[in-house]
C-alpha cells in the first residue's frame, strides 16, 4: 500500500488529493478543495487580472498538511493550468502576482508579433496553436509594461510556470516541467528542448531576450528534491522527508494520461474550465492545414504529443451562473440546472464556442445573446435556454474538433473519452455522443489529479512503467459511464449554421 499526494489547481477550483495504490487499485481521497479564479483589479492602463498565488500556496500547504496527518506520504506532485508564470528577482523572490491568461493585456499581441516573425515560421518550430495568452505573447505584454519601468525589467531573473513556482517554494529547485513548458511557445516541439533558434529570433526581431530567464527542463517522473517546509511535517514510511516528483504539470497532460483508454483509437475531451479536445500521437503535426485549423501540439507524458484544440468550455457556463448569482437569482443544484437545459428546445441557438469575445470574465448571458443576434440565431430567453445554447454549442465544437483532429493527423478514433468535472454533465455527454456519432465514455471526474498521482507512483516504483499499464489501473479503479449516439436532430444542419472562423 503506497500513498502519494497530488496538488491539482484548475482555474475554477483547486484540490489536494491523497491517492493510495493497493493491489493494483487506486483509491483517491480529496483532502482539501478550494475555489479558484482570477482576481480583477486595475492598473493605470485599465483592468488587471491576476492569480492570488499566495492564497493558493496557503491552500496547497493546508492540503499537504492534511494529507500528512493521515499517514506517510511517499511523494507529492503538482499540476495547474498552463501558460501562466511568475517572475523571480535575482534573490529568488516573486516579483508580482502571476497575470491571468484571461487578462486583456495580450489583446492584439499575436498580430503584432507576427509582423516580426510570421505565424508559419513560429508554428514550424513550436507547433503551438495561436492563443493570445501563450506565454510568449504574455512576455511581450510584460516587456511593454517594463518599457515604462526599465528598472523592473532588469529585476526579472527567472521565469517559473505556476506549478514550478509552487514546486520551487516547496523544494528550492527551479525547473520547467516539459509538458507545461510546451504551452509557452518557446519549445521546439520536435526536440522537446527550448528552441535556441526561436529564442535568437525573438531576441533579434522582437527585442525580447529570454534565454537567461528560462530554467532547466525536466520530464515528468523526475524526483526534484525533498520538501523543505518545516511546518508541513511530511514524511515517507521510511521516516525520510517526502520528495517532490515532477508530473505532467500541465493539467491537460495529466488529464490525458488518465484517459482510461484500451487502445490508441480514442479522442479525449478534458472537460473542465476549458474543454481540450484531441488525440494522442507519437509525433507532432505541423502541416499548413494544421496551422490553418489552429490545432496545437502540446507535449505529453512518455514522449507523446497531445494534438488538440482548445474549446472555450464550461467557463462560459460558470460565468453565466456567476452573473445570475450577482443578479440575485437563487443558486440551483446541478440536477435542476441541467433539467432546465434538457427541457429547453434542442439546437435552437448555436454560437461559435471559440469566439475570442468569450475569453474575458464578464456578463456572459449578454455576450451570448449578442453572438446569437450577430449570427442570426434566436436569442435565448430563459436560463434553461442559455444553458442549452452553451451545451449544444459545446457539443458542436467537440464534433468539429474530433473530426479535424482525425482528418489532420490521420488518426482513427473509435471512442471519445470525456474526463474532468464536465464528465458529470450527462446532457453534455449524450449530446457529444450524438454530435460526434461516437460512443462517449465519461469519467473519471478527477482525471487530472489521477494522472498526477499515477506518474508519481510510477516514479517511486509502485506502479507499472508503461502507459497502458497505468491506464489499466485507472480503468480498474474508476468505472466510467457510456453514452451511445442516438438519432435526433440533425447535427449536419446545425454544423452549417455556425461558420468556421
Which residues are known to be catalytic?
251
**What is d(CA 406, CA 309) in angstroms, rounded to the nearest whole number?**
12
When asked if residue 322 is in the footprint of ligand ADP (CB under 6 A), the reply is no
Q: Residue 273 in contact with residue 84, Cβ under 8 Å?
A: no
318 contact choice in ligand LRH, ligand ADP, none (CB below 5 to 8 Å, kind-dependent):
ligand ADP
When asked if residue 489 is in the footprint of ligand ADP (CB under 6 A), the reply is no
When asked if residue 107 is in the footprint of ligand ADP (CB under 6 A), the reply is no
Q: Is 144 exposed, middle or buried (0-12, 13-18, 19+ CB in 10 A)?
A: middle
**What is d(CA 103, CA 140) in angstroms, rounded to the nearest whole number?**
13
**What is d(CA 416, CA 419) in angstroms, rounded to the nearest whole number?**
10
Which CB atom, from 11 or from 17, has the smaller least distance to ligand LRH?
Answer: 11
Tell me which of 20, 50, 226, 424 binds ligand ADP, using CB under 6 A: 424
Which CB atom, from 272 or from 443, has the smaller least distance to ligand LRH?
Answer: 272
420 contact choice in ligand LRH, ligand ADP, none (CB below 5 to 8 Å, kind-dependent):
ligand ADP
Tell me which of 113, 274, 315, 491 binds ligand LRH, using CB under 6 A: 274
Tell me which of 37, 241, 378, 421 binds ligand ADP, using CB under 6 A: 421
**What is d(CA 71, CA 22) in angstroms, rounded to the nearest whole number?**
15
When asked if residue 273 is in the footprint of ligand ADP (CB under 6 A), the reply is yes
- Distances from the Cα of 252 to the Cαs of 32, 228, 308, in angstroms? 21, 28, 10
Closest distance to ligand LRH from the beta carbon of 29 (Å): 23
Residues in contact with ligand LRH, shown as a per-residue x/- string from 287 to 316 under the rule CB under 6 A: -----------------------x------
Closest distance to ligand ADP from the beta carbon of 421 (Å): 2
H-assigned helices in 327-446: 334-343, 364-375, 383-409, 426-436
When asked if residue 272 is in the footprint of ligand ADP (CB under 6 A), the reply is yes
When asked if residue 317 is in the footprint of ligand ADP (CB under 6 A), the reply is yes
H-assigned helices in 218-293: 251-257, 288-292
Q: Cα(first)–Cα(last) distance of the chain, in Å? A: 51
HEC profile of 141-192: HHHHHHHCCHHHHHHCCEEEEHHHHHHHHHHCCCEEEHHHHCCCCCEECCCC
159 contact choice in ligand ADP, ligand LRH, none (CB below 5 to 8 Å, kind-dependent):
none
When asked if residue 318 is in the footprint of ligand ADP (CB under 6 A), the reply is yes
Which CB atom, from 232 or from 314, has the smaller least distance to ligand ADP?
Answer: 314
Which phi-psi region, left, alpha or beta, contains residue 253 (left: φ > 0; alpha: ψ -120 to 50)? alpha
Q: Is 489 exposed, middle or buried (0-12, 13-18, 19+ CB in 10 A)?
A: middle
- DSSP E strands, 227-274: 243-245, 266-271
When asked if residue 273 is in the footprint of ligand LRH (CB under 6 A), the reply is yes
107 contact choice in ligand ADP, ligand LRH, none (CB below 5 to 8 Å, kind-dependent):
none
12 contact choice in ligand LRH, ligand ADP, none (CB below 5 to 8 Å, kind-dependent):
ligand ADP
When asked if residue 422 is in the footprint of ligand ADP (CB under 6 A), the reply is yes
Question: What is the total count of residues that contact ligand LRH (CB under 6 A)?
Answer: 13
When asked if residue 11 is in the footprint of ligand LRH (CB under 6 A), the reply is yes
> In this structure, how many other beta carbons lie within 10 angstroms of the beta carbon of residue 46?
9
Q: Is 425 exposed, middle or buried (0-12, 13-18, 19+ CB in 10 A)?
A: buried
When asked if residue 51 is in the footprint of ligand LRH (CB under 6 A), the reply is no
**What is d(CA 268, CA 258) in angstroms, rounded to the nearest whole number?**
10
Which CB atom, from 218 or from 394, has the smaller least distance to ligand ADP?
Answer: 394
Q: At what angle do helices 364-375 and 315-326 cross, to 10 degrees?
A: 120
Cell matching residue 291: 496551422
Tell me which of 48, 164, 188, 251 binds ligand LRH, using CB under 6 A: 251
Q: With CB under 6 A as the contact rule, which of the stretches 205-213, 246-254, 363-371, 389-397 interacts with ligand LRH? A: 246-254
What does the binding site for ligand LRH look like in residue numbers (CB under 6 A)? 10-11, 81-83, 101, 250-252, 273-274, 276, 310
Amino acid at each position: 500500500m503506497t500513498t502519494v499526494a497530488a496538488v491539482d489547481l484548475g482555474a475554477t477550483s483547486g484540490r489536494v488529493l491523497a491517492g493510495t495504490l493497493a493491489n493494483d487499485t487506486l483509491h483517491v481521497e480529496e483532502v482539501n478543495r478550494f475555489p479558484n479564479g482570477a482576481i480583477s483589479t486595475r492598473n493605470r492602463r485599465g483592468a488587471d487580472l491576476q492569480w492570488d498565488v499566495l492564497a493558493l500556496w496557503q491552500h496547497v500547504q493546508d492540503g499537504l498538511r492534511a494529507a500528512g496527518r493521515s499517514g506517510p506520504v511517499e511523494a507529492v506532485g503538482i499540476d495547474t493550468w498552463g501558460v501562466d508564470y511568475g517572475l523571480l528577482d535575482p534573490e529568488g523572490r516573486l516579483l508580482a502576482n502571476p497575470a491571468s491568461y484571461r487578462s486583456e493585456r495580450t489583446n492584439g499581441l499575436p498580430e503584432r508579433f507576427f509582423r516580426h516573425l510570421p505565424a508559419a515560421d513560429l508554428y514550424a518550430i513550436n507547433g503551438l496553436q495561436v492563443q493570445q495568452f501563450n506565454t510568449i505573447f504574455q512576455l511581450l505584454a510584460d516587456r511593454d509594461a517594463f518599457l515604462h519601468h526599465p528598472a523592473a525589467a532588469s529585476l526579472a531573473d527567472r521565469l517559473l510556470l505556476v506549478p514550478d513556482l509552487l514546486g520551487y517554494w516547496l523544494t528550492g529547485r527551479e525547473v520547467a516541467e516539459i509538458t507545461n513548458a510546451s504551452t509557452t511557445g518557446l519549445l521546439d516541439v520536435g526536440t522537446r528542448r527550448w528552441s535556441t533558434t526561436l529564442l535568437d529570433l525573438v531576441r533579434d526581431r522582437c527585442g525580447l531576450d529570454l534565454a537567461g530567464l528560462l530554467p532547466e527542463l525536466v520530464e515528468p517522473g523526475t524526483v526534484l528534491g525533498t520538501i523543505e517546509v518545516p511546518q508541513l511535517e511530511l514524511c515517507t514510511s521510511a521516516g525520510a522527508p517526502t520528495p517532490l516528483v515532477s508530473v505532467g504539470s500541465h493539467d491537460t497532460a495529466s488529464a490525458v494520461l488518465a484517459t482510461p483508454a484500451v487502445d490508441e483509437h480514442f479522442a479525449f475531451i478534458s472537460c473542465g474550465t476549458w474543454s481540450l479536445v484531441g488525440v494522442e500521437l507519437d509525433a507532432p503535426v505541423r502541416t499548413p492545414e494544421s496551422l490553418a485549423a489552429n490545432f496545437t501540439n502540446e507535449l505529453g507524458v512518455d514522449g507523446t504529443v497531445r494534438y488538440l484544440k482548445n474549446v472555450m468550455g464550461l467557463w462560459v457556463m460558470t460565468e453565466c451562473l456567476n452573473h445570475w448569482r450577482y443578479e440575485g437569482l437563487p443558486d440551483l443544484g446541478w440536477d435542476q440546472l441541467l433539467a432546465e437545459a434538457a427541457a429547453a428546445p434542442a439546437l435552437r441557438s448555436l454560437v461559435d464556442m471559440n469566439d475570442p469575445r468569450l475569453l474575458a470574465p464578464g456578463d456572459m448571458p449578454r455576450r451570448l445573446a449578442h453572438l446569437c443576434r450577430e449570427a442570426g440565431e434566436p436569442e435565448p430567453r430563459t436560463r434553461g435556454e442559455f444553458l442549452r445554447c452553451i451545451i449544444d454549442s459545446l457539443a458542436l465544437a467537440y464534433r468539429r474538433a474530433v473530426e479535424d483532429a482525425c482528418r489532420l493527423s490521420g488518426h482513427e478514433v473509435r471512442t471519445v473519452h470525456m474526463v474532468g468535472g464536465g464528465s458529470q454533465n450527462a446532457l453534455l455527454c449524450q449530446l457529444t455522443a450524438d454530435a460526434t456519432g461516437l460512443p462517449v465514455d465519461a469519467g473519471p471526474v478527477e482525471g487530472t489529479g489521477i494522472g498526477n498521482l499515477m506518474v508519481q507512483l510510477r516514479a517511486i516504483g509502485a506502479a507499472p512503467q508503461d502507459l497502458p499499464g497505468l491506464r489499466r489501473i485507472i480503468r480498474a479503479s474508476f468505472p466510467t459511464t457510456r453514452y451511445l449516439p442516438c438519432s435526433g436532430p440533425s447535427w449536419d444542419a446545425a454544423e452549417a449554421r455556425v461558420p468556421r472562423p
